[in-house]
Structure 1
């Protein structure tokens, strides 16, 4: 039986007020110094405290009863035991970021939480940290992110759109991806992407516009086009902040989406339109998770090496899966048949396999939507 987890004091207080037992429960990164009386009176057998702050008497009681205390790790710009996914507000502080940029601060992004974590990652060995505590902190952090992501996605029909980070906001495919994501969100699918620029950004922009018209979406894309790629980081972020402010979601619950970026590519800031952000240190964990959680289908917009890698990761899962292969839809016939000719090879691999009927290629937003709806009802 899974352990009951507490990520907020509000949830914990409500549970205790209802007479709940803390035996075999988990508290994640909570300041419990104001809950000493309740803790000392509680049964803490098997209770786990991940990075929590406890007063000495509560700590002694927990240890005496067989509880486990995982200590906070010092001098980290991130919380390795966090109980929630990130938000754009937490990572990028959009309004403050805009003010700093407009005041002439060329290091405005570096001062955001996202920028500070990326700097720390860069200064502590990047992919191979020499300090075991840095390595441990990252692994604990990524585990916490996965746990929070699984809680968010439970019971949802998840569709991913993969595609290139270099796809410009001024490219016709950017608007097509945004339109597609909007349509799929309207149909009740939960949209995810790699969380970065390009086709990934368009995915989340489309979800934000679930309750707005196509003309408003076109106006938003036109406003973004003045900074077409993330290489102009200042302008790219500023235009994103402005569009975000001008077009808030009408129904935040319906407009939710999840971006899954990585600090391995930390020079690319996460886009500003995802409602939730599951940012990882380990790109391998992130990539496998992206493909695995999108059980309702994956759409592959034009992209290069990273997108091709994701195509074959998804193909491998479908190739060897024993039941329930999910749709693979290549979005862009000319691109995937001739410029990056992976479709013929995929067809050869799928021949005679269960996923053969769910492998397709199209230029049409409507065909993608119809395919995923057909899979839903199959």
Structure 2
């Protein structure tokens, strides 16, 4: 049976194409739709991971701060995020955010003004226009999964301020990775008891009661209004990880 091998791919029968990869690479004629195909996207994904790893590999201990992009400077959580960013920087942490406005901007501002390293990991969205001005090291991503990898790989903990669906997504992903043993010694601190208490109560009264989570899953989420407590938990995790 006739067959054609293209690297790890084998083609047979009517799936055999009539040109080589090198031919399509070197020939400038013909349609350019190939740059939008899934195999080509894999190279873009690879490039994003390589760029992210290269930009962040030397950061040292870091904490990711999440929160809504919609909270302006007049919102109480903005000031909390700014204080948190400053205190983390003073304790020697790099501060990583999603690089957007609101709580993310505030945390970046606090870290940068305190002389720390302020990082923003941006994502291509239709309603946001680049990284905030307080980001000292910024990486923009096309793909959410590549960006999420950077948050988890280079952070020793998550501090979560009031936020929307994106904030919940990051928080629960970290909780899932901790639950499944993918990450260890990884504090997840929810800052803002009024905002987060209802969620934690629902998890306890519904999920825990139904047996869909365990008590230790719930215990991974630390709820507080105290920035100093949040910072102390990050410091303790860093010391435990280096011990």
What TM-score results when the alignment is normalised by the length of structure 1? 0.49
Shift of 1:157: 1.1
Match of 2:47 among 138, 141, 144: 144
Query: Is the contact made by 1:264 and 1:282 (CA closer than 8 Å) also made in structure 2?
Result: no
- What is the aligned counterpart of 2:153 among 289, 293, 297? 293
1:38 matched residue in structure 2:
none
1:189 Cα deviation from its structure 2 partner:
0.8
Correspondence for 1:193: 97
Q: How does 1:1-378 map to 2 (within 5 A)?
A: 131-134=33-36, 139-154=42-57, 156-211=60-115, 255-265=116-126, 267-286=128-147, 288-321=148-181, 324-338=184-198, 341-342=199-200, 344-345=202-203, 348=208, 349=213, 351-352=215-216, 356=219, 358-378=220-240
Secondary structure of the residue aligned to 1:264 is: coil
Q: Report the Cα offset of residue 140 of structure 1.
A: 3.5
Give the superposition deviation at 1:149: 2.3
Aligned partner of residue 122 in structure 2, secondary structure: coil
The one-character-per-residue Cα deviations of 1:182-217 (angstroms, maximum 9, x if unpaired) are: 110111111111111111111211111114xxxxxx
Structure 1 residue 318 displacement after superposition:
0.7
Return closer, same or farther for 1:322/1:262 CA change in 2, 3 Å cut-off: closer
Alpha carbons 2:49, 2:146 under 8 Å: kept: no
Alpha-carbon distance, 1:299 to partner: 0.6
Q: In angstroms, what is the RMSD of aligned CA positions?
A: 2.9
Say which SS state the counterpart of residue 369 (structure 1) adopts. Answer: helix
Deviation at 1:148, TM superposition (A): 2.8
- How many residues align? The count is 205
* Distance in 1 (alpha carbons) for counterparts of 2:135 and 2:188: 23
| 8 A Cα contact 1:159 1:190, kept in partner | yes
Q: CA deviation at 1:272?
A: 1.3
Q: In 1, distance between residues paired with 2:166 and 2:135? A: 20
With a CA cutoff of 8 Å and minimum separation of 6, indicate the structure with the bigger relative contact order. Answer: 2
Flag structure 1 segments of 5+ consecutive residues without an equivalent.
Answer: 1-67, 75-129, 212-254
Change (3 A) 1:187 1:282: same
Distance (Å, rounded) in 1 between the aligned partners of 2:46 and 2:182? 27
* Residues 319 and 350, structure 1, Cα contact 8 Å, conserved in 2: no
Q: 1:289 to 1:152 in 2, by over 3 A?
A: same
The residue that corresponds to 2:12 in the other structure is none
The equivalent of 1:110 in structure 2 is: none
1:307 Cα shift? 1.0
Shift of 1:143: 2.7
2:51 alignment partner, SS class:
helix
Provide, for residues 315-370 of structure 1, a one-character-per-residue CA deviation record: whole Å limited to 9, x for no partner: 110110166241000010010013xx1465279435245x93x5311111111111
TM-score, length-scaled by structure 2: 0.73
Q: Which has the higher strand share?
A: 2
Quote the Cα distance in structure 1 between the aligned partners of 2:40 and 2:131: 21
